[in-house]
Amino acid sequence: MFRPASYIFASLFIYTMTGSLLNPTFASATNHPFSVRDMLAMERIADPQVSPDGRRVAFTVWRADLTANRGHTSIQIADIQKKSSFAINPLAEADDTNPRWSPDGKTIYFLSTRSGSQQVWKTSPTYKKPTPITDLPLDVGTFEVSPDGRFLILSLAVFPGRTPEETKKILAEKANQTGSGMVFDRLMVRNWNTWNDGTRNHLFFYPLPGGPARDIMAAMDADCPSKPAGGTEEFSLSPDSRTLVFAAKDEGRKEAWSTNSDLFMVSLQTETKPLRITKNPATDMQPRFSPDGKTLAYLAMSQPGHEADRYRIRLRNMASGEERALDLRIDDGPNGDRSPDFIIWSQDGKTLYCTADHLGQHALFAVDVAMGKCRMIMKTGNTIAPQPLPDGRILFTWNSLNQPTELYLLGIKNEESQRVTKWNDDGAAKIRLGKVGAFTFQGAHGDTVYGRIVYPVDFDPSRKYPVAFIIHGGPETSNLNEFHYRWNPQIFAGAGYAVVQIDFHGSTGYGQTFTDAIRGDWGGAPYEDLMTGLDFALKEYPFLDEKRMAALGPSYGGYMINWIGGQTDRFRCLVSHAGLFDKPMAHYEMDTLWFPEWEFGDPKRHNPLDYIKNWRTPTLIIHGQKDYRVSYTQSLALFSALQRQGVASQLLIFPDEGHWILKPRNVLQWQDTVLAWLRQWLRPL
């Protein structure tokens, strides 16, 4: 509910010249502790796409625009051999995203808003004036170029059974109606931060150069990619460009309480209706054709209704329809299984590369397709979007707690990595970060539980430091070794706090049994892990000041803060961000029903509202008013209860934000408010 891999926010902004008034800059020219302003000044690399000859890579770069209170995106081209890069016309008034190469490598197609709406454009890799490819009545959501270069597969949000032109007309009529009311006769009525308007993301066949666009999913009341944050990973074209396979949740009125999605296949030559090729009652996603087109790899869960079930890799023989499964395992023990979240074929079709959480890292694995054996080839940090090269090397984005995102190359034979880009080196040279450490202890059920500590910047072992105890959301996520662009522990380390984090029961990367242990036990084993882990850290690290501790958490972490508030007075202050306060009410307030139906068990169990009379700890409460996963009314109710009881409390509401605080100026206000709250209550005794 709170983490989702497929919903995860992709931070993409625009590249402009350093020093522009549009952009945040590093706090000073001299070396200084890391701050939220430094985080916003970091340019963020994403969506790497290697050219067919393997010599260049196109990627997007995000940069904050404080004036507009938003971000912008540009596309960059890097020469992999020379390790140099240049921009494709970074216009301040437009966003360029989704770079895709033509099969001959002579053209780059991309999405751009430079014409007002979001359409497909093209240019050459050496940069010529971009020209538009599509002029459709609706925004293009995402697209891929066919392997033969003759057409695009693109997505448009249309009313089922209606053309793009008809959809635009209906939407215009709705906008001009007398009242603003919305009428619904089925769930889901909203998702994450948007109200559903009845449109569906459909895939369209678009012949080059000029169309017309044909709705491949015309008869389906389903989305592909998923709304609101799907991507091209949910569909795949066969190497001969004849067949399309896509994932869609074709569940009709059961959509709000079902996690089932299936794979559908369609022949692009015969224009047949999509044929359902999987009947698994749980999630199937990320179809990937092998280089020879004979095998389809995809990810599949086995437990209906569970969004954080373990994915297994399935291989489908496209001729016979027979399938077999590959498990991603690090050993044969009960906690040795891992859940891949991204897969891609090697260019020789012998290996599947995948990424997965593993003991606080987001590791890169290589799976032998014939033998089923797997090995880790990037063991530390946060590895994202691997792209195999023709020579066998792999390009990927990588970051860690001490390193912003850059592009790297990995040699498979020697497994040595090297930097391709140095996008943030100048800024990183101006900041000081805290040292990172790790520990383990015996937690709930006698299990080994992992924890992390981030030392304060300019650490002095003779001093005592206040503690920021940060609890992750999800709950099925992990405190990854990543350069997080929201809850970055280094912001607190730069402000003089020692940061402690615990991967409690429910966290990912420790086996599915460990992850599933949180079901129906939200305030049980996880709370035990957190308190036991904090006690262990206080003994292990004598510089931690147990008299000056704050607990902070977003989403599930916000729920845990609300649970802690009624259970213990050991913290000097609390920060609850988008947390559940009344589980029975939240069960029916959420945009989905499958999450509470799977997670809660009895929603009255471990309900923070029931312990509100015990709450004495000063609390800062934060929420986005457009959060439709956890309604802001949960935080409003908590604030009212604390105020009525005379508990020191503040409420920070963002009317224009959802479950995450994303707009640059809002990020500054959010972080500044949190740090001011901590300074107020963790001042020296």
pLDDT tens digits for 67-119? 999 999 999 988 887 766 555 555 456 799 999 999 999 999 999 999 899 99
* Single-letter amino acid, residue 411: G
* 38/426 Cα distance (integer angstroms): 12
Torsion angle (degrees, nearest 10) of CA 491, 494, 498, 500? 20
Q: How far is CA 553 from CA 194, 207, 452, in A?
A: 24, 49, 15
User: What domains sit in the chain, N to C, each tagged with a CATH number?
Assistant: 433-681 (3.40.50.1820)
Tell me: cis bond preceding 212? Omega within 30 of 0 counts.
yes
Residue 590 gets the label, from left (phi > 0), alpha (psi -120 to 50) or beta, of beta
Asked whether 366 and 375 are in contact (CB, 8 A), the reply is: yes
pLDDT of residue 9: 25
pLDDT of residue 52: 96
Q: Which two tokens stand for residue 192?
A: 């994450």
Query: 654-674 burial, b for 16+ CB within 10 Å, e for fewer?
Result: beebbbbbbbbbbbbebbeeb
Query: What residues of the chain score a pLDDT lower than 70?
Result: 1-29, 83-93, 227-231, 684-685
* 598/595 Cα distance (integer angstroms): 5
pLDDT of residue 85: 58
pLDDT of residue 87: 55
Predicted model pTM: 0.94
Q: Give residue-wise pLDDT tens across range 385-425.
A: 999 999 999 999 999 999 999 999 998 777 788 899 988 99
Task: Tell me, rounded to whole angstroms, the distance of Cα 536 from its chain centroid.
Answer: 31
pLDDT of residue 596: 96
pLDDT of residue 334: 85
Q: Give residue-wise pLDDT tens across range 527-543.
A: 999 999 999 999 999 99
Q: How far is CA 236 from CA 198, 232, 290, 312, 330, in A?
A: 26, 8, 10, 18, 28
With the C-alpha atoms ordered 642, 644, 646, 650, is the resulting torsion angle positive or negative?
A: positive
Cβ neighbours around 546 below 10 Å, total: 15
Q: How far is CA 50 from CA 12, 126, 389, 399, 513, in A?
A: 18, 15, 7, 19, 37
* 56/106 Cα distance (integer angstroms): 12
